[in-house]
Amino acid sequence: LRVLTVDSDYVDYFTPKARPSLKCLKIEGLYSTSPDSVIQIIDQSELLEVLELDVWPKQLASASYTAPSSLTFRHLKTVDLRSPEILMHFTGILSLPTLDSLTIGSYGGTPEELVFLRACSSIQILDISYAGEVSNEAARIFPLLPRLRKLALSGFMLSVDDILPLLLVDDDTGLYRCQKLEALTFGQCSFGEGAAQLLLDTIKARCEASDVDTRVARFVHVHFFEGICPEWLKIAVRQIVPLNYSKEYLFG
């Protein structure tokens, strides 16, 4: 067995049959499953590469399970958590050198709690949906991820102070701090005064760069699911309009 997709109501039936060769595990369903059964399968899956958990156990906050220190996930590459609270059960999972893709849905913590992302030094693809009620000021963490190539934010309230760290040039090297960043996606994000224009001006400058050998990052894709979209942006980069958004909603 290499790939297992199972509703969380039935995960207990699979626990005794988990295979150490399992490479892809997807567990679906917002039910009252105990995380112990889920984690037991993961414990036995030494070759696991993809982990997707769409589970929000009612008793998760009071669960007593703690991942053993020997649980190294040496091969884990992709983690997709629709229930970010389950992170408490995986000590060290975010600092894995193999982890290159992290998706967190409905993150409801405070912006300050996003500091755990600093441990994700190997992350190349980061997708976070924010469900908090306060303005986010944690975008300054993203430039600290040296390998970040694709960044997708949804539900964030972004100010100039949040945007600047993504665009600033490092004084010591003369390079953009996010020099590998090639794709940005903003889904239902709101921009503070001057933030959107600052972002657009910088993207335009990068798109018009003539030196193909420069190490300065280029934005290959910029997706605005909501907000302004000037004519030059439609020409300079690929523009994708989701089917569930009308043109009037997107572009006013």
Alpha carbon 168 to its chain's center: 21
Q: Which pLDDT band, with edges at 50, 70 and 90, does 16 fall under?
A: low
Contact (CB, 8 A) for 216 and 182: no
Tokens of 142: 């993203």
Give CA–CA dist 71/46, Å, rounded: 8
Give CA–CA dist 96/217, Å, rounded: 25
pLDDT digits (tens, 9 = 90+) for 99-147: 888 888 777 666 566 777 777 778 888 888 877 655 555 566 777 787 8
pLDDT digits (tens, 9 = 90+) for 68-101: 444 556 677 888 776 666 666 665 666 677 888 8
Give CA–CA dist 94/123, Å, rounded: 9
Tokens of 114: 């996003």
Contact (CB, 8 A) for 155 and 191: no
Domain locations along the chain: 100-251
Give CA–CA dist 227/237, Å, rounded: 16
pTM value surpassing 0.75: no
pLDDT digits (tens, 9 = 90+) for 219-251: 544 555 444 444 444 433 333 333 333 333 333
pLDDT of residue 118: 74
Beta bridge partners of 4: 25
pLDDT of residue 250: 35
Amino acid at 103: T
Q: DSSP class of residue 237? A: S
Mean pLDDT of all residues in 137-166: 74
